[in-house]
Chains A and B, each alone.
Chain A
Amino acid sequence: MLVNGRVAGVSGLLYRSFSDPRRHYWALLFLAGLCLGTGIHLWLSGQPAPKFDQPLSTLLPAAFLVGVGTRIGNGCTSGHGICGIGRLSQRSIVATGLFVGTAIVTVFVRSGFGGL
């Protein structure tokens, strides 16, 4: 933001770098960096990679919802939660409250019925 004048929301960057890569090399590089940074941490820390052990029957519908929701709602945790609230944007404060709230309810319902 300070340097490039842009807000870094991962969902938006991802979409743009796929739909119009020529105009968004910077977005692609940011995402590459994201991956690189985590790779460096994995290498330096010597800790094992986290486990992604949920069944695909949960993971894939969830992935689809995350994709659809971040596009319709124009942002995810980094865009609304960090940058948007940082700009004191009312939209982002409402969005963050809603997605954190629905996520808490989702986990609550699942732990009640599915036993987490």
Chain B
Amino acid sequence: MNLFVALIAGTLFGFGLAFSGMTDPANVIGFLNLGGQWNPSLAFVMLGGLAVTIPAFQLLIPKMEKPLQAKIFAEPNKVTIDLKLVLGACLFGIGWGLSGLCPGPVIAGIAYLDWDLILFATVMLLGMYSGTWLARFLPVSD
């Protein structure tokens, strides 16, 4: 059942990304290009997402003792702002700005069977493993 829900959630997400044009890096770079012809579509998609998650996470979840199909809510840390977070977010931002691609649309876009994108996904995964390794050398503040 959990697995089925994960598949459905992923499918909706993938359809939504493609439907809203977010799998096209031109739209993403258009949004980031404040100095040129600005394309606001990403802002609407993001605000649309938040219009669901903010009320759902703030109003619904506190009233639930546990999720419908699992024992606990697995919630990540909310407050620690450390070098890792800042450095990671900045590196990611540069990569995102260069390519117009972030992990969601990359995985979704594998459906387009474009070799450049599949190569991108492979190198991104390589980057993730390198990142895990690098993160061991960064100070942790807990």
Contacts and interface: CB of A to CB of B under 8 A. Distances in A.
Interface residues of B, number: 104
A60 B64 CA distance: 44
B127 A27 contact: no
B94 A4 contact: no
A31 B111 CA distance: 11
Q: Which secondary structure dominates where chain B touches chain A?
A: helix
A10 to B, nearest CB: 4
A33 B13 contact: yes
Given A14-B103, A14-B107, A107-B33, A34 B10 contact: yes
A30 B100 CA distance: 22
A80 B92 CA distance: 12
B38 to A, nearest CB: 11
Contact of B89 (A33, A85, A88, A98): A98
Interface of B: 2-3, 5-19, 21, 23-26, 29, 32-36, 46, 49-50, 52-54, 56-58, 60-61, 64, 66-81, 84-104, 106-112, 114, 116-117, 119-132, 134-135, 138
Interface of A: 1-8, 10-11, 14-15, 18-19, 25-27, 29-42, 45, 49-52, 54, 56, 58-74, 76-78, 80-92, 94-96, 98-108, 110-112, 116
